[in-house]
Structure 1
Amino acid sequence: MFEPSSGPLHAYLAGIGCDHRGRYAADVLGFSNQQFEAVHDYIQWLFPLPTRSAAQPGAPVLTRAEIEAIRADRRASDTLLKATERMLRFYRETNDWLRWQDHNHLRITRIINSLRLLAGTDAACRFHEAILALHDAAGAPINHQSLRYWAEAAEN
């Protein structure tokens, strides 16, 4: 059950709190593909980590209490599932990220790491495998370093 003291990321993923711009997770999940590509401050909220974001240093950082609260809260887990499905849809419906280097490669690493931490290894591996299938279908255009980061994120 939600405890207000568990933090802003838990509240956001539970659907009862908003991000720094006043957006709820449901608002962000309703973004168009163009918005997902152009807006750069939502990914840290949908897929949080316990480390500071270099791209958005003002974004909140997961605490141990929030990790446990998110794992235990069905609403937060449901939002993570919806966010994962929406990001997969974005990657299936767009192809600009399917190149040697792209900012989405960092997003993918974050998503895999966050899923592993908050939803478990199986969820992280499923996302990773889906991304690799898209990569392979496109003729394997992504650099080996990004691929290695994704594999390490899924394995950790």
Structure 2
Amino acid sequence: MSGATGPIHAFLAGHGRDGSGRSLADVLAFDDARIEGVHDFIQWCFPLPEASRAVSGAPVLTGTEARAIRDDPRALDGLRAMLDRMRRFYAETDGWLRPYDHNHLRITRILAAVRTLVGPSDADAFHRFVCERNAQAGAPINADSLAFWRRALQG
């Protein structure tokens, strides 16, 4: 694994594979339809210290692996590249701008992972972006999802 502390770290650093055998470069190359339709990549790109309720067998971030990711510029670059890709997805698509959508859970995950691994300013910027998109669309997203997003910023 070329110095990686674990499989998530290796994946984000660009020299590992996710549970479906994809590299980070493979996932970054997903078109919008694949991002929308594939459900087992987000847990690798934005890992959390708790098990996914949506995808069984998804990786769980340990404290040791989180520290290793925070200390590895390549892993942080990989995570930031995926954050940029998801920002483009949410900028270029509107299907998630409705009262209830699985992307609302993804956004909560993204906010929590970015806050923990990259830092609060990056998480705050992404939060402002998705909230602005929601406002521009007439604020269709339900209040519970918006509250989950705010809580994800607080840890």
Q: Which runs of 5+ in 2 are unaligned?
A: none
- Cα deviation 1:69-88 (Å, max 9, x = unaligned): 00010110001111111001
Partner of 2:99: 100
Partner amino acid, structure 2, of 1:36: I
Q: Which runs of 5+ in 1 are unaligned?
A: none
Partner of 1:68: 67
Q: How does 1:3-152 map to 2 (within 5 A)?
A: 3-4=3-4, 6-152=5-151
Q: How many residues align?
A: 154
Per the TM alignment, residue 3 of structure 1 is displaced from its structure 2 partner at its CA by: 2.6
How high is the sequence identity, in percent, across the aligned residues? 52
Partner amino acid, structure 2, of 1:150: W
Please provide the CA RMSD for this pair: 0.8
Q: TM-score, normalised by structure 1?
A: 0.96
Shift >2 Å, 4+ stretches: none
- Cα deviation 1:81-133 (Å, max 9, x = unaligned): 11111001000100000000000000000000000110011111111111001
Work out the CA distance in 2 between the residues paired with 1:74 and 1:57: 29
Q: TM-score, normalised by structure 2?
A: 0.97
Work out the CA distance in 1 between the residues paired with 2:143 and 2:55: 25
